[in-house]
Amino acid sequence: MIQALQRDLGLTAEQAESRLLNESRLTNVEARIRKQLGSRYAGSWLSGPTSSTLTVATSDSASTSSVSGAGVQAKVVKHSLASLDAAKEALDRASRKVSTKSTPVWYVDVRSNAVVVRTPQVADAEGFIAASGADRSAIRVEVSDEAPRPLYDLRGGEAYYIGSGSRCSIGFPVTRGTQGGFVSAGHCGSTGASTSGFNRVAQGTFQGSSFPGNDYSWIATNSNWTPQPWVVQNGANIQVAGSTVAVEGASICRSGSTTGWRCGSVQQRNSSVTYQEGTVYEVTRTNVCAEPGDSGGSFISGSQAQGVTSGGSGNCSSGGTTYFQPVNEILSTYGLTLKTTGGGGPDPTGCTGYQQTLSGTLTSNQSQYQPSGGSYTANAGVHRLCLDGPSGTDYDIYLQKLNGSTWTDVASGTTPNPDETVTYTGTAGTYRVRVHAYSGGGAYTLGLTKP
């Protein structure tokens, strides 16, 4: 939270810490004063970069003596909070009978001691207020072009529609820089095709698509849609922590918009399969069933993304065989970053199967840089990290890239566990891994695969 406050509010770390401490203390003070004022209470608010001042409004000048404490000040206003709430409720009731498309926002603003109606059409706002019967003296109209819209989450396995026709399933939410989107199957749509979401709301456009030969695509979405590190499991959210490739024979599950959540095991990697349209190479074969509409959906093993549903045979009534396009190839091809929780999940059991296996020993609150206190040069593509820390500790990893003379964190695994996995798709450059013992100490193993 401190890091987010620094980024989004422009604070220093010290200011962010002070802000949180002040908010905790003054929230308790505010609750006491509000109770003392009762019906005379007219709202309260914090101000200052560190939330150092609490202002409490009252509709009774004689009650200001009840407003006391370090960092607390009183303000005498005309309307009590109860009267403002009553005016707002009158507007709410009216909105159920008259159109509010031209007056889309109204709220109680305790700072200005008014109910604010925001609108680009003042005459429409006045008509709305008159129809409500609310106390006009308590309402202020503000001219505004604000046009709120609903926001939706991108989740692996959910339906999306291509143009006005076919349906496929989201593979995994991704980002490319500040652009959000998701990966799916290539046979679902061609580059330039438009998509809408599960709710038929406009969603995005295919930025790249390859089929046959490969069977993958990526879709960039508009600002209504937010990528989340989730795969849908019968309505619940399964968290995606990385994209470490599962060993043949491992359990694997698939999420799709036709048949939902189905599981089986990894049969063979590096398979080739010929469809009517042509051959697709280097897909993974599974005994998980699927049906039309599941195409593009998520294959996941534990918390690790595996790939997107390509095709297969059979169905989910009699059983079947399904192939998926490995997700790491898609990420590398299009320069995408998988949306993840940043690590966690089951113990990575020694972090085997990586290009390099590194080790070290830490004490609590100590850091080491790998490989061997130095750095490594990488091509553009996917970095995979796996940390196996001592049981009962909290170890974290940070992938850092050299920008000029400064090292910058580009990915991290910071769960409260000893083990972390991180997958990052980056540009060519110089990188290093910082291993940090947040609490506890002992020997660790670090697996590293670089592009």
Distance, CA of 274 to CA of 186 (rounded, Å) = 15
CA distances from 163 to 190, 193, 437 (A): 11, 7, 50
pLDDT of residue 40: 95
pLDDT of residue 348: 41
Catalytic-role residue among 83, 187, 243, 257 = 187
Counts of helices then strands in the chain (DSSP H, E): 5, 32
The segments of the chain whose pLDDT lies below 70 read 342-350
Q: In sequence order, what are the beta bridge partners of 218?
A: 183, 208
DSSP assignment letter at 246: P
DSSP assignment letter at 399: E
pLDDT of residue 391: 75
**How wide is the angle at C-alpha 50 spanned by C-alphas 48 and 51, nearest 5°?**
60
- Pseudo-torsion of CA 355, 241, 376, 353, nearest 10°? -10
Half-sphere exposure of residue 385, counting CA atoms within 13 Å on the CB side? 31
Backbone Cα Rg of the chain = 28
Name which of 208, 194, 203 is nearest 332 in CA terms: 208
List Cβ neighbours of 326 (8 Å cut-off, separation of 6 or more): 245, 269, 282, 283, 284, 306, 307
Does domain 356-449 fall into CATH 1.10.3720.10? no
Topology of domain 81-143, CATH: GMP Synthetase; Chain A, domain 3 (3.30.300)
Q: Which CATH number fits domain 150-339: 3.30.70.60, 2.40.10.10, 3.40.50.800, 1.10.443.10?
A: 2.40.10.10
Catalytic-role residue among 59, 63, 184, 295 = 295
Question: Exposed/middle/buried for 49, CB within 10 Å: 0-12, 13-18, 19+?
Answer: middle
Peptide bond preceding 371 in cis form (omega within 30 of 0): yes
List strand residue ranges (DSSP E) for 350-415, in order. Answer: 356-362, 367-370, 376-378, 381-388, 394-403, 406-413
Distance, CA of 407 to CA of 277 (rounded, Å) = 47
Distance, CA of 105 to CA of 101 (rounded, Å) = 9
Q: What is the pLDDT of residues 179-220, one digit of tens each?
A: 999 999 999 999 999 999 999 999 999 999 999 999 999 999
Q: What are phi and psi of 330, to 5 degrees?
A: -65, -45
The letter for the amino acid at 411 is A
Fold agreement between 150-339 and 356-449:
no
The letter for the amino acid at 138 is A
Give the pairing of strands 53-58 and 72-76.
Answer: parallel
Distance, CA of 408 to CA of 395 (rounded, Å) = 19
Catalytic-role residue among 215, 388, 396, 419 = 215
Distance, CA of 279 to CA of 212 (rounded, Å) = 6
CATH code reported for the domain at 2-76: 3.30.300.50
Distance, CA of 74 to CA of 335 (rounded, Å) = 55
Structure token pair of residue 125: 């706002």
Spell out the SS3 assignment of 319-346: EEEEEEEEHHHHHHHHCCEECCCCCCCC
Q: Is the pTM of this model over 0.75?
A: no
Determine whether 187 is an active site residue: yes
Distance, CA of 339 to CA of 179 (rounded, Å) = 12
Name which of 369, 371, 352 is nearest 447 in CA terms: 352
pLDDT of residue 342: 53
Confirm if 110 and 81 have CB atoms less than 8 A apart.
yes
Long-range contacts from 199-202, C-beta under 8 angstroms, 24+ separation: 199/152, 200/161, 201/150, 201/152
Domain parsing of the chain, residue ranges: 2-76, 81-143, 150-339, 356-449
